[in-house]
Amino acid sequence: MADKLVPVHVAVIMDGNGRWASQRNLPRIAGHSAGAKSVEEVIKAAKESGVKILTLYAFSTENWKRPKYEVDALFKLLENYIDSQTEILIKNDIRLSAIGRIEGLPDTVQRKLKSVMDKTMSGSSLLLNLALNYGARSEIVDAVRAVSKDCVAGKADPDRIDEKDFSGYLYTKNLPDPDLLIRTSGEMRLSNFLLWQLSYSEIYISKKMWPDFKKDDFIEALNEYRNRQRRYGG
């Protein structure tokens, strides 16, 4: 039986890579590389703690505004991560999935993502869900477009669509909403991340930059969650 004190779904805004690098007079990509190590620690901590779904905000629709060299380096880092972690994910019974406008990612990234998702399809101990080319407003717009098409085609009745129906058109349609949102670097905003899904999630803010956020910090966030009394406005 699942431990009700352990969040089923944890979402993470991995913030502060660039500032971490700047504070050390390093190029920004060095911060992203260091952040990849934190990803590995948090995945391990989530699996060991009994978390079933871990959604990481890896690349937002706004991130395209960054310098091209940084964007290119981020995708190369992602490709290298996929290559190095595929067998580890399989060995540890972890399934990889992705949400966002995946079709807008570079072709090589799309191919590697599809390959590792196929190879890890049977993973059942943890679902590692990467938000890539993701924006919550874009997600809602895409959902509205899909609803509209179904209404025009007679597959949906606009007068009968409720919140549950609408959730079925989101990228996360097969996932429960996050129980806990973790954001690093001390920032107090959602940054266009899972705006619909986070309506009643508990929020935990760490002042640490993402590269400094390790296994013990993740456990601390889970302990904080255990001490919360969740309320849903009733």
Asked whether the beta carbons of 131 and 57 are under 8 A apart, the reply is: yes
Which of 185, 202, 190 is closest to 23 using CA atoms?
185
- C-alpha count within 13 angstroms, C-beta hemisphere, residue 144: 7
Which of 100, 131, 91 lies closest to 10 in space, CA to CA? 131
Q: Give the model confidence (pLDDT) of 48-79 as tens digits.
A: 999 999 999 999 999 999 999 999 999 999 99
Contact 73, 32 (CB under 8 A): yes
15, 129, 133, 179: which is the annotated catalytic residue?
15
Going along the chain from its start, the domains and CATH numbers come out as 9-138+177-226 (3.40.1180.10)
Q: pTM of the predicted model, to two decimals?
A: 0.95
CA angle 177, 81, 50 (to 5 degrees): 40
Q: Is 157 a catalytic residue?
A: no
Q: Report the mean per-residue pLDDT for the chain.
A: 95
Among the listed residues 208, 151, 160, 203, the one whose alpha carbon sits nearest the alpha carbon of residue 182: 203
What are the start-end ranges of the E strands in the chain? Answer: 9-13, 53-60, 94-99, 126-134, 180-183, 202-205
Side by side, the strands of the sheet bearing 53-60 are: 94-99, 126-134, 53-60, 9-13, 180-183, 202-205
Of the residues 3, 17, 25, 63, which is catalytic? 63
The list of the chain residues with pLDDT below 70 reads 1-4, 234
- Active site annotation includes 107: no
Distance CA 63, CA 222 (A): 29
